[in-house]
Amino acid sequence: MEHSESTVIKILFEMSGITKERITSELRELINETARQEILFWDIDDIMRATTFKKTFLEEHILCDPRIKQYERQRGFKGKRVWLYEPTAKTITNIIMNEWN
Sorted by where each starts, the structural domains of the chain and their CATH numbers stand as 1-38 (no CATH), 40-101 (1.10.238)
For residue 89, the tally of other CB atoms under 10 A from its CB is 19
Report the alpha-carbon angle 25-29-32, nearest 5: 140
What confidence score (pLDDT) does residue 7 get? Answer: 85
Res 1: pLDDT: 58
Burial class (CB in 10 A: 0-12, 13-18, 19+), 83: buried
pLDDT digits (tens, 9 = 90+) for 40-81: 899 999 999 999 999 999 999 999 999 999 999 999 999 999
Three-class DSSP category at 35: helix
pLDDT averaged over every residue in the chain? 90
Percent of the chain with pLDDT over 70: 96
The structure's pTM equals: 0.63
SS3 of the chain: helix, strand, coil, percent, to 5: 65, 10, 30
